[in-house]
Structure 1
Amino acid sequence: MEDIDNIEEDEYGFSRNYFLAKELGGSSKKSARKLSDINIVDEQELRETAFNIETKHEKEIDEILDDYKTKYPKWVFELRCGFGLLMYGFGSKKALIEDFASSSLTEYSVVVINGYLPSVNLKQVLLAIAELLSELLKSRRKSSGTPAKGQEALPSRSIDDILSFLHGSQSEDKDCFICVVVHNIDGPALRDSESQQTLAQLASCSHIRIIASIDHVNAPLLWDKKMVHKQFNWLWHHVPTFAPYKVEGVFFPLVLAQGSTAQTAKTAAIVLQSLTPNAQNVFKILADYQLSHPDEDGMPTEELYSASRERFFVSSQVTLNSHLMEFKDHELVKTKRNSDGQECLNIPLSPDALKQLLLDLSQ
């Protein structure tokens, strides 16, 4: 028994001395280094380095993407059946969804919402969708000989009024619908309950189909049972692409980079390269005008529409508005009224940065 007591006492003494030594050591030794002493890399340099990292396992990734492409007809069939498509899995799904839309949804009108942006104007998106649906139903009625109805979506209406218009628009043609692509429906600007409820009500319209992607592990917590099964009517598709989040990450500050809120030419080029060629060409017209008219408040919207239509970059004012909405969401273009009361469009970049941007786009 004495041996056991001695062993326990020795162990107690060792434990007490160990924690005492740790306490004394921790209080006497303090690091002289500070966070401000770290040599932080320039943000643009860090982004360029990250952007140019070579992708590994390209062959295997291409094989995975080719397998997804064989599923495109099935995805179209699911949309025609009234379901919404929800893409999840590791890697950016942006290029995959856009390839699906451009190759398999050519018979339908497609509206894109970039949920990864810091701010998204859902009312402007709904207005664009309402105008597009109104024109689509008019053309369908005209081709079928049915008298057109006089219901129109007006910019002065509220979100509830626009949703009522969308729900009230009916057509016997069940294959008449608009596809709404939402990149990162779980993005920072769309995570609030109001935005998700608005998107759910939009998805429940008979002439709307949603194709969306999610990346946040807690994204399903955004929806209740009714939203998942009754409104969005999701069909979940596991489509890991292993692609880097190059475009989606542009608007998020890098931990190892110096903070900068200025829109650089390089950042703008990355964003523009993710848009359609026609959208890029419209932006180039605006940029050229701004460089040749440095003393003006910007290019009048009507003038941009005329120039873009003459060069066949847009077919209607609705198309131009969708491009401008993307520019504004990405903070590439700002609007203001000149002394004559005209709405003018201005790119918030210096002339040198604008010239560099055009050079980057031409490469």
Structure 2
Amino acid sequence: MNPNGLDEESGYQKRRRKHKPTTVADPPRLERHVDRSARKKTAHMIIERSSLGCASDNEEESLFENVYSEVEDEEAAQEEVDSEEDISKIAPDTPSKRGKISASKRQKRSPTPPLDLSPHELYFSQNRPGRTKTSNTNLSSVALLDHEEYFELVRSYKSQHNDDLEYLQAEYAKSFNQWQFELSQGFNICLYGFGSKRSLLMKFAEYIDDRQKDDINKKVVIVNGYVSSMSLIKDTLQTIAAAVSDPAAGPPKLGSQPAGMLDSLVQLLDEDPSKHVTLVLHSIDGPTLRRPTVQAILSRISSFSQVKLIASANHPSFPLLWDSSIRSTFNFVFHDSTTFQPYTSEIDVVDEVNELLGRSSRRVGGKGGVGFVLKSLPEKARKLYEILIQEQLASMGGQSALDRRDDEDDNDSRSMNMAKSEAGIEFRLLYQKAVEEFICSTEMNFRTQLKEFYDHKMIESHFDFLGTEVISIPFKKDELETILEDLTS
């Protein structure tokens, strides 16, 4: 090789070092541009040398091979980069674990299982559970059922089994003669089975009353045992005593306690053996008659030869109310009387629905039920309830509806509603106001009047953190205002 060629080659190497990137951090795109410009200059230099005849054939071939090999490597690398960019445009990058699954990797769940599954896997595939569905509705959003709506729905309902139910009642009516014979032999009758038996017993009572020749000495007394009244047993004894006593002498005085009233009733029955009473008792297993003392009194009444008891039981476990002695005292003959009739009288549907919805504090039946009860009470009791409403409205922080009916809108009345525990009146304060209004004179008389409200669940009482008894009405403010308007109108 001639000295000129060596000098020119060393200059080429210098130029390569001059254009070679000095740092590793340079962008690869810039490095490719630098290498390409160096190769262009080298190609021009080879062409000039070949035209001037300064380089040998071996040197030209080696230089051409180096240049074209680098060009081919660069083109192959560029094609790989372009192909990778095209693939990245078609398929997105793999997401992270918390990211969304790509559409290509998301597998749709097929409703048809594969055919190559084993029998047990095919069973579980066909019986796999579906997605859980939840509802936004809850019991607190359900509107309360009132008596007016309930009676309207009952009147409009027509059962498709009315003919079958009437036919079943007629079949049981064919046994009235047998039942009357059992009563004449000293037995008492108890009807059990699914369905209300009230209408059946009422027909049997009419059947007995029509066949009694002596209407003066033989009476039929009907007792509704499903009524939730604490004085039900007292009222029963008083009614039987009035039936066997002389009407001209007035109602007999039996006392105040059930045990003493029973002894007085026994004396009345012993004084006149000609008096007979047929006692028709609906729901002998009613809530107020389930106490052992009450069942003992009823069994003793039924043991008298002058009293014939006809009772009905609704609960399937009613025999558990009695032990062997009380059951032998009743001396019942049991008859299966499944009527499939609805318990329209035995169960207060409105109260039961409100209790299931967690609104047991309003079991009185709403403002309509309160108005119905107040109409049957004396004037002083209504006045006492009016005072209680006024004081509770005052404790709620607002005036009564009569004072602010013209200057208060519905939004203000809703915002002023308070919880039951925050409203009410102290017992002593209410008693003092009742004395000032000449409603009562003694505390015993005052508690007697409040007892009527307790029995109908029109008031509630609780003790505050100081131990003071507070009486309140379990209604909202707008309902209290409506009741007050009805009382003052």
Measured against the shorter chain, the TM-score band is 0.5 to 0.7
TM-superposed CA distance for 1:267, in Å, is 6.6
Change (3 A) 1:191 1:105: same
Give me the whole-angstrom Cα distance separating, in 1, the residues matched to 2:157 and 2:367.
Answer: 20
Tell which structure's C-alpha radius of gyration is larger: 2
Look up the match of 1:135: 246
2:264 aligned to which of 165, 168, 178: 165
Confirm or deny that 1:261 pairs with 2:363.
yes
Q: What does residue range 33-72 of structure 1 map to in structure 2 within 5 Å?
A: 35=138, 38-44=141-147, 45-46=149-150, 48-50=152-154, 52-72=156-176
Change (3 A) 1:338 1:84: farther
Length-normalised TM-score, structure 1: 0.57
Q: Equivalent residue of 2:245, what SS? A: helix
TM-superposed CA distance for 1:47, in Å, is 5.7
TM-superposed CA distance for 1:295, in Å, is 12
Give me the whole-angstrom Cα distance separating, in 1, the residues matched to 2:381 and 2:292.
Answer: 44
Q: Which has the higher contact order (CA 8 A, sep 6+)?
A: 1
Q: What does residue range 103-252 of structure 1 map to in structure 2 within 5 Å?
A: 103-106=207-210, 107=215, 108-121=218-231, 122-135=233-246, 153-156=252-255, 158-168=257-267, 169-170=269-270, 176-229=275-328, 231-250=329-348, 252=351
Q: Equivalent residue of 2:241, what SS? A: helix
Q: 1:46, 1:257 within 8 Å by CA — same for their partners in 2?
A: no
Give me the whole-angstrom Cα distance separating, in 2, the residues matched to 1:267 and 1:297.
Answer: 17
Length, aligned pairs only: 265
Q: 1:41, 1:257 within 8 Å by CA — same for their partners in 2?
A: no
Give me the whole-angstrom Cα distance separating, in 1, the residues matched to 2:344 and 2:364.
Answer: 18
TM-superposed CA distance for 1:221, in Å, is 0.2
- Give CA deviations for 1:266-320 in whole Å, capped at 9, x if unaligned: 7799xx9xxxxxxxxxx9xx96999xx999969xxxxxxxxxxxxxxxxxxxxxx
Confirm or deny that 1:85 pairs with 2:189.
yes
Look up the match of 1:97: 201
Gaps of 5+ in 2: 1-120, 122-128, 385-437, 443-447, 459-481
Give me the whole-angstrom Cα distance separating, in 2, the residues matched to 1:51 and 1:258.
Answer: 25
Change (3 A) 1:104 1:53: same
Q: 1:86, 1:214 within 8 Å by CA — same for their partners in 2?
A: yes
What letter is aligned with 2:142? N
Length-normalised TM-score, structure 2: 0.44
Q: Equivalent residue of 1:128, what SS? A: helix
What letter is aligned with 2:183? L
Q: 1:176, 1:207 within 8 Å by CA — same for their partners in 2?
A: yes
Q: Equivalent residue of 1:165, what SS? A: helix
Change (3 A) 1:295 1:87: closer
Give me the whole-angstrom Cα distance separating, in 1, the residues matched to 2:306 and 2:365.
Answer: 37
Give me the whole-angstrom Cα distance separating, in 1, the residues matched to 2:140 and 2:246.
Answer: 60
Gaps of 5+ in 1: 1-13, 15-21, 23-28, 140-151, 273-282, 299-336, 355-363
TM-superposed CA distance for 1:64, in Å, is 1.5
What letter is aligned with 1:161? G
CA RMSD of aligned residues (A): 4.6
Q: 2:139, 2:357 within 8 Å by CA — same for their partners in 1?
A: no
